[in-house]
Amino acid sequence: MRIAIYARVSTKKQKDQNQGKKDQDPENQLRELRAWCDKTGHTIVQEYIDRESGRNGAKDRKQFAQLFEDAHKRKFDCVLFWALDRFTREGMAPTVLHLQRLAGCGVSFRSYTEPHLSTDNELVGNILLAVMSSLAKVESQKIGERTRAGMERARVEGTKSGKPIGRPKIDPALQRKIAKQLGEGLSAYAVAKKLGIDAHTVARYRGPFEQSAVDAHA
């Protein structure tokens, strides 16, 4: 089987906080991963090493991104990593999406220190991904519930304190200026530049302001 090894080490700050951990040195990971491949008769076709936080996605981990590009091209059959948290630490849902993406390319994965996390066996792999997908769904639901609870708590506390809840209103005088200039045909970007405010602010309120401009000229 053609193997791609993925190894990741923490950023310097994280390594300082985790001194003494064997898996913080990529060579420690690679040495044993290579030995496993040699012992099992698998061929290593590529090694991908990142020195970034595992909470970063593919955008900030170049080797991680390259791994998926090569998986799509079927340059290897299986991805071998030290442990799941060495592969990614983005959370359950993103992790499952990454693993499903590999599966979609016809590439399995194996965690060296967690033998139960392996899709070498197709049947076991399907069951594992199904279970992990269910856990990710539960996690997502819990996050949603906590978010809604937090928003409700903020609303209640805001009501008690008299503080407004929601998007802050901009000054009425500024609203009239934006409405007037939008009504003259200027773009949101041009209005923002002229008034020295953020273009997103103008674009966000453009609909109401354009209506105001229409009313003003009626």
Same-domain check for residues 128 and 178: no
State percent of the chain over pLDDT 70. Answer: 63
Does residue 53 contact residue 17 with C-beta atoms inside 8 Å? no
Same-domain check for residues 113 and 191: no
Does residue 47 contact residue 30 with C-beta atoms inside 8 Å? yes
Q: Is pLDDT above 50 for 17? A: no
Structurally, how many domains does the chain consist of?
Answer: 2
Residue 162 domain-assigned (yes or no): no
Range of the domain at 186: 172-213
Residue 208 domain-assigned (yes or no): yes
Q: What is the rounded average pLDDT of the residues 74-99? A: 87
For residues 15 and 122, the model is more confident at: 122
Distance CA 88, CA 94 (A): 9
In order of 2, 60, 98, 189, 191, the CA distances from 52 in angstroms are 26, 8, 17, 36, 40
| pLDDT mean across residues, the chain | 75
- The domain boundary residue, chosen from 111, 135, 159: 135
Same-domain check for residues 85 and 21: yes
Q: What is the rounded average pLDDT of the residues 11-31? A: 59
The whole-number pLDDT of residue 181 equals 80
Q: What is the pTM of this model?
A: 0.55
Does residue 2 contact residue 42 with C-beta atoms inside 8 Å? yes
Q: What is the rounded average pLDDT of the residues 162-185? A: 72
The whole-number pLDDT of residue 215 equals 43
Q: Pinpoint the alpha helices (H) of the chain.
A: 12-17, 26-40, 62-72, 84-87, 92-104, 122-161, 172-183, 188-195, 199-204, 206-217
Q: Which of 14-28, 80-94, 180-194 has the highest mean pLDDT?
A: 80-94
